[in-house]
Chains A and B, each alone.
Chain A
Amino acid sequence: MNKILNEINKGRVLVSDGAWGTFLQQKGLKPSECPEEWNISRAADVFDIAKSYVDAGADMIETNSFGGNYFKLKNYGFEDRVFEINKAAAEISRKAAGSDRFVLGSVGPTGKLLMMEEVTEAELYEAFKEQSIALEAGGADAIVIETMTDLEEARIAVKAAKENTGCEVFCTMTFDKIIGGEYRTMMGISPTEMTEILVGAGAAVIGANCGNGIADMIGIVKEIRQANATIPILIHANAGMPHYCDGETTFPESPDDMAGNVKEIAEAGANIIGGCCGTTPGHICKVREVVKSL
């Protein structure tokens, strides 16, 4: 309990890992395949990804379980395998992390909209509870609820993880810069609104992930810090928006581009810095170097 928080409280800036989804694709994951099923059928490949981030110097690594909730797995007919798939995800990352790095159990959105009555609050709670319990059973230290855009769904997820596991609970949302320069999620939530609700729901760490590249994260961190002087902040930034050429998708921000923003993000108040879509062990290695020099 509170293992990661204790490190943050020592005044350390911690390094998280980089992308999983785009990494799995490089290893041959097809668009129609369920990424989380690889925890069972391609465990060695998933382990390679986890291990590559440990070797790059990350203090914590995520799990291959972003789409591991009941609703997403149901798309592939795997809804009765939530426990098995998520437990395996955490076990793989635990094995790669050893005892001196942390494992963040990844929990993504369900893709169902509460306000359109596609799902009830109770069903959301049950889905997040089921997934969080399985991630803890596989050895996760924390649950990181990420890429959220609806504050109500995020709040329910935090509550479900908090009330049903002994893990530290983190939550990050995905913001875009809108016309006028402010930050909002797709559902219109600002970093300030997020901060109040998620801290109130019991999140130990909050922040932002995905988005349009690391430079935008600076403004988001500043706004969260303004709204709350002490809550630890986690950033998992994309390597910019993807470019597509001849069947290949590439991301514009190099490891050096990302590393070039790390000092400013840390100074703005971020406590944990890592990557999202398009970032690689090379990015995390460079982030590690900068963090070491802080």
Chain B
Amino acid sequence: MNELLVKLSECIEFGKINMASPYPPQMKGQEGADEITRRALEEGVPPQDILTNGLMPGMERIGVKFRENKVFVPQVLMSAKAMSTAMLHLKPHFLSGAAKQKGTFIIGTVLGDLHDIGKNLVGMMVEGNGYKVIDLGTDVGSEKFIEAVKQNPEAVVGLSALLTTTMVSMEKITKEIKDALPGTLVTIGGAPVNNDFCTKIGADNYSPDPQGVVEYLNSKIA
């Protein structure tokens, strides 16, 4: 495999954004995701290859480490930052059709809940694993989710909640999405949520960590 892509995957895994970034200390002074992605494109590496063999393996490795409690939120955020930097170079190629994302994921924090750290983390991990992510923000009601699914009929919906009080909201939104657009897949997550709850409210999947969402999407879409 292209050596540049191996290096790129390491930049993503360890959160090396660009040459100037002091983080992580062990990669100080080296090229980051920014420079390597640009160089790979200049050297004619297909954008699809950069996504599939550079970004995705790096995101997968950090996702697995996060699930295993070997790293915590800050490390994942640095990886996500590195990933976003690389994505800026790839975006024109997605738009032109030269590279394809695997599918679309619509995510939002449910009505009544304003917490966004977990939701953002999942969104970034999913994007870095090759999906188009539509982030509806926080305090999102069923109408907005339904509207977004109508515009992206194959999309999977992710619902996030941190508060025990907004679990009620999650149940309502899941039901209303399913009523309006039967067959839409809904995956849920957040501190108070678990598998039992998922079954009870008729959602399709519960993931305790972002990597779980990626694996669920891969099993359903890719």
Residues of A within 8 A of B (CB): 22, 25, 29-32, 72, 75, 111, 113, 115-116, 149, 178-180, 184-188, 241-242, 244-245, 247, 249, 277
Contacts and interface: CB of A to CB of B under 8 A. Distances in A.
A154 B115 CA distance: 18
A111 B114 contact: yes
Main secondary structure of the interface of A (DSSP, over half): loop
A184 B81 CA distance: 23
Contacts of B112: 30-32
Given A22-B164, A30-B112, A31-B112, A244 B200 contact: yes
Contacts of A111: 114-117
Contacts of B113: 31
A280 to B, nearest CB: 14
A88 B111 CA distance: 28
Contact of A115 (B77, B168, B197): B77
Contacts of A185: 72
B71 interface: yes
Contacts, number: 64
A242 B69 contact: no
B174 interface: no
A187 B72 contact: yes
A29 B163 CA distance: 13
B139 interface: yes
Contact of B69 (A149, A179, A187): A179
**Residue of B77, B139, B163 with most chain A CB atoms under a 10 A cut-off:** B163
Contacts of A30: 112
A190 to B, nearest CB: 11
B165 A31 contact: yes
A188 B73 contact: yes
Interface in B30-75: 68-69, 71-75
A31 B71 contact: no
B192 interface: yes
A179 B67 CA distance: 9
A207 to B, nearest CB: 20
Contacts of B78: 115
A245 B201 CA distance: 10
Contacts of B139: 32
Given A30-B112, A31-B166, A115-B74, 15 more contacts: A31-B165, A31-B168, A32-B111, A32-B139, A111-B114, A179-B68, A186-B117, A187-B72, A187-B73, A188-B73, A244-B167, A244-B197, A244-B200, A249-B165, A277-B164
A276 to B, nearest CB: 12
Contacts of A242: 164, 167, 192
Contact of B72 (A22, A31, A186, A244): A186
A31 B117 contact: no
Which of A186, A247, A277 has the most B CB atoms < 10 Å from its CB? Answer: A186
5 shortest interchain CB distances as A-B pairs:
A31-B112, A188-B72, A178-B69, A249-B164, A242-B164
B111 A188 contact: no
B168 A247 contact: yes
A101 to B, nearest CB: 28
Contact of A31 (B69, B73, B169): B169
